[in-house]
Amino acid sequence: MSTKTKTHETDGHSKKTFHANLARPKIGQDAAEIQAFGTIVKLPNGLSEAVCKESVERLNQILADTMTLRDMYKKHHWQVAGKTFYQLHLLFDKHYEEQAELVDQIAERIQLLGGLSYAMAADVAENTNIPRVPKGREEVPVQISRLLTAHEIILQTARTSARKAADLGDDGTNDLLISDVVRTNELQVWFVSEHLVDVPLVQAN
């Protein structure tokens, strides 16, 4: 691409002002990936490449499921209806924000191990273990049941992965899974489960 110098006259003197096309975006660029998905860039973190690779694979599964659960909470936040609308509308959004924070923490851990995390919706949809949710609006008990199923899938995977990380000496991954993923999901399960308890909203006596 040409970068000819443009000039203009000032008091009879020629003065350089800018290079043509220098500020024009160079779109349509293409090149080979600098790291292929599923590979590890070995960092001096005291862990072997094999350990990092196994932890990254397990974390990516939990990440895909966590991103799915996060989006389920936002869907139900938008679509919840009924007498408990206001309470659940707020609760679902609170849990969405907490799951979004977990997504960042898990993805960052993957990068710290030298791996690459899932990032695009299509990749998440292909790899999550959580059953797909219908597009339409569902009744509150169904919404909650779906959320609890998703939570349990994540908790089972996280506990298994935490034990494996501990066996491999990957203390950072073990700490993230127990201190953040497991505890956050357990707390959310409690909050959501209580909305399925069959008690009247108002007691006459």
Q: What digits encode the pLDDT tens for the residues 153-200? A: 999 999 999 999 999 999 999 999 999 999 999 999 999 999 888 777
107-140 per-position pLDDT tens digit: 999 999 999 999 999 999 999 999 999 999 999 9
CA 184 → CA 37, 82, 129, 137, distances in Å? 28, 27, 19, 26
- Show the tokens assigned to 32: 């080979």
Whether 1 shows a pLDDT value over 50: the answer reads no
Alpha carbon of residue 119 to chain centroid: 7
Residue 23 banded pLDDT, cuts 50, 70, 90: confident
Residue 133, Cβ neighbours under 10 Å: how many?
17
pTM of the model: 0.86
- From residue 149, give the alpha-carbon distance in Å to each of 7, 13, 112, 154, 205: 68, 77, 30, 9, 36
